[in-house]
Amino acid sequence: MAKKIEVVAKTVDEAIEEALQKLGIDLEDADVEIVEEGNKGVLGIFGAKGAKVIVTENIPDSRKLRSYLLSIFKALDITPRLDIRDDGETISADITGDNVGCLIGHHGDTLQAVNYIANLIINKDKETFKRVKIDVENYRKAREDYLTALAKRTADRVARYKRSISLDAMPASERRIIHFALQNHKVVTTISRGDEPNRYVVVLTKTEAAQIEAKEAAKAAKEAEFRAKEQEAEEE
């Protein structure tokens, strides 16, 4: 829920100003509802009634994202160009300029972290999730093209030699690119193995995947049967 506050003061203007100060925002970032305009009463004493307003914080997502990214730029002492677009469902930020490689990191690790925190900031107190997509010098598109090509090359090798291949560990967003690239392949399929942050994708034939699935199902059935027998023994 967005932050809101109800304030009573002598005048509407005073009530609004007090509410803005308590919320720590400017008028342009607020929605104001005047509940009661108030009155001075007789001789300014008898029957006087204060003004009542409800002020709700309403900072645009684009301004939140810009403020967050500019704070990072300042900390890193860089001055890149920043272009932000918001279509309602996704808010995108494109960063370009000199010395911006520090925002990408090894295999995009830094960019992933920056994007993750931005998601938390933008979606705080929201009922409907909004996707945040930050890119630096078109890195995401280049990385997606590289991973898609890697997936296809790996699939060709697996299909030819009938042996599974495990790729290097990568974040969930990059694993999804591999899975998507091969989801309609006639011979091979993909599965994820391991635990974060070392989770990785295995490319294997559909025949091998079916065999693994059958073995895991049989193992799970045996474990369930064993637990059932243990429970029966405890109840006797």
User: Which pLDDT value is given to residue 209?
Assistant: 94
User: Which pLDDT value is given to residue 233?
Assistant: 75
pLDDT, tens digit (0-9, with 9 covering 90-100), for 40-86 = 654 555 556 788 889 888 888 999 999 999 999 999 999 999 999 99
* Beta strand extents in 10-160 (DSSP E only): 30-36, 51-57, 81-86, 90-96, 131-136
User: Which pLDDT value is given to residue 142?
Assistant: 94
Lookup: tokens for 157: 């090798």
User: Which pLDDT value is given to residue 65?
Assistant: 96
* Beta strand extents in 167-220 (DSSP E only): 188-193, 200-205
What residues of the chain score a pLDDT lower than 50?
Answer: 42
User: Which pLDDT value is given to residue 48?
Assistant: 63
- Rounded Cα distance between 177 and 197, Å, is 17
User: Which pLDDT value is given to residue 61?
Assistant: 93
